Amino acid sequence: RQAAYAELRDVEPFTRCGTRITVMMNAGLRDDMSALAMTGADGVGLFRTEFQFLVSSTLPQRDRQTRLYKDVLDAAAGKPVIFRTVDIGGDKAVPYLSSDIAEHDENPALGWRALRLALEREGLMKSQARSLLEAAAGRTLNVMFPMVSEPWEFDTAKLVFDEQLDWLRKQRKPLPEEIRYGAMLEVPALAEVLDELLPRLKFMSIGTNDLTQFLFAADRANPKLAERYDWLSPAILRFLARVVRGTMGHEIDLAVCGEMGGRRLEALALMGIGIRRLSITPASVGPIKELVRKIDLAEITAAMQGWLASPPPDMRAALRHWASEREI
Ligand code: PEP
Ligand code: MG
């Protein structure tokens, strides 16, 4: 099978009906970037910048950050890379910040993490902004903020970048050719204010890992709960379908970057509700490209509409049956 996927490397993922689906990969380390050429993914839809912070025993200095981001952009060779600003705190504690976190957090996933932490630790956000802006000189920089709960958080984070950009401009340093800002949708509350949020964004990526744990109030790290909810449950799929509808009429790229998108039946369901961009684990790129080439969007859209209006007793079984009938 691996050989078959290697053959798909240079094949663009068009559906049977001729729609191009964007299949990107998730990454977090310099070494992950070799998978881009190996899989033929369309780019990096989620670069988890916190990995560098997590493997380091001290706060990574600006020059180290800049070097990593430059290397990543070089390795991408012109394909887009979406850098997510740090998502540390919560279960991703780092020694040089953990005393603060231990003090604050009884429920780390709901706690002082990601943008919430970065906006208060202004030095952290500033140094990351400067590093990203410098690393992308002369190129396109895509920046994505994690755990945005309300639009003002997006504005405040972007302001940090604007200030650093001003500073670089005054110093007559080379600037990125274009800067595109986006947000992750992983806090359910944000879905209720899309009309206010979306005019500010160029792209949005749905983080179904966190979104699911928040929707079901079920800790994603607790194995006792792993069987208790399903990504293919009507609650999740209806929620996501509503988000897709909420983005209509707005000029933004909407993607899903949670693990869900790398699984066959889940990817099928996502395309059935209108998702056209996925960012997934590199090992899934081949299998998902293969899936894309077998499907007809009108067919899966009609099937999903029926199932969401009136859910079958077992959505997973229904999708599996639907796929096997069509030899997908
Ligand atoms: C997510 O929450 O779905 C996501 C992609 O981000 P992470 O897994 O890094 O929290
Ligand atoms: Mg997340």
- Per DSSP, the three-state class of 287 is helix
Q: Which ligand gives the minimal distance to the CA of 221?
A: 1
The predicted pLDDT at position 108 comes to 80
Q: What is the mean pLDDT of residues 143-160?
A: 98
**Residue owning the nearest CA to atom 9 of ligand 1:** 48
Q: Which ligand gives the minimal distance to the CA of 207?
A: 1
The predicted pLDDT at position 111 comes to 84
Closest CA to 255 of 27, 26, 38, 86: 26
Any atom of ligand 1 within 6 Å of the Cβ of 257: yes
Any atom of ligand 1 within 6 Å of the Cβ of 87: yes
- Residue 325's alpha-carbon distances to 97, 147, 272, 319, in angstroms, are 53, 39, 16, 10
* Cα–Cα distance measured from residue 204 to residue 243, given in angstroms and rounded to the nearest whole number: 11
* Cα–Cα distance measured from residue 104 to residue 108, given in angstroms and rounded to the nearest whole number: 9
Mutate to test the pocket of ligand 1, among 26, 51, 87 (most ligand atoms within 8 A of CB): 87
| Cβ-based neighbours of 118, under 8 Å, separated by 6 or more | 85, 86, 124, 125, 128, 157
Any atom of ligand 1 within 6 Å of the Cβ of 258: yes
Task: Retrieve residue 261's tokens.
Answer: 């998108």
**From the alpha carbon of 209, which atom of ligand 1 is closest?**
3
Closest CA to 24 of 35, 15, 14: 35
Are 216 and 232 a contacting pair, CB within 8 Å? no
Which is it for strands 203-206 and 178-185: parallel, antiparallel or unpaired?
A: parallel
| Cβ-based neighbours of 163, under 8 Å, separated by 6 or more | 126, 129
Q: What is the mean pLDDT of residues 170-184?
A: 98
- Average pLDDT taken over every residue of the chain: 94
- Element (H or E) spanning 246, and its range? helix 234-247
Give per-residue pLDDT as tens, 229-247: 899 999 999 999 999 999 9
* Cα–Cα distance measured from residue 132 to residue 68, given in angstroms and rounded to the nearest whole number: 9
Mutate to test the pocket of ligand 1, among 44, 48, 220 (most ligand atoms within 8 A of CB): 48
Any atom of ligand 1 within 6 Å of the Cβ of 279: no
**From the alpha carbon of 26, which atom of ligand 1 is closest?**
5
Amino acid at 281: T
* Cα–Cα distance measured from residue 232 to residue 291, given in angstroms and rounded to the nearest whole number: 17
- Residue 48's alpha-carbon distances to 83, 151, 240, 253, in angstroms, are 7, 22, 23, 19
Give per-residue pLDDT as tens, 267-282: 999 999 999 999 999 9
**From the alpha carbon of 210, which atom of ligand 1 is closest?**
2
Amino acid at 187: V
Are 57 and 80 a contacting pair, CB within 8 Å? no
Tell me the torsion sign for CA atoms 200, 109, 58, 68: negative
**Alpha carbon 226 to chain centroid distance?**
21
Give per-residue pLDDT as tens, 53-109: 999 989 999 999 999 999 999 999 999 999 999 998 877 778 777 656 656 677 888
**From the alpha carbon of 186, which atom of ligand 1 is closest?**
2
From the CA of 27, how far away is ligand 2's center (Å)?
13
The predicted pLDDT at position 295 comes to 97
Return the minimum-mean-pLDDT range out of 8-12, 102-106, 129-133, 260-264. 102-106
Q: What is the mean pLDDT of residues 26-31?
A: 98
Give per-residue pLDDT as tens, 203-238: 999 999 999 999 999 888 889 988 888 999 999 999
The predicted pLDDT at position 1 comes to 66
From the CA of 62, how far away is ligand 2's center (Å)?
24
> pLDDT-derived band of residue 183, with 50, 70 and 90 as boundaries?
very high
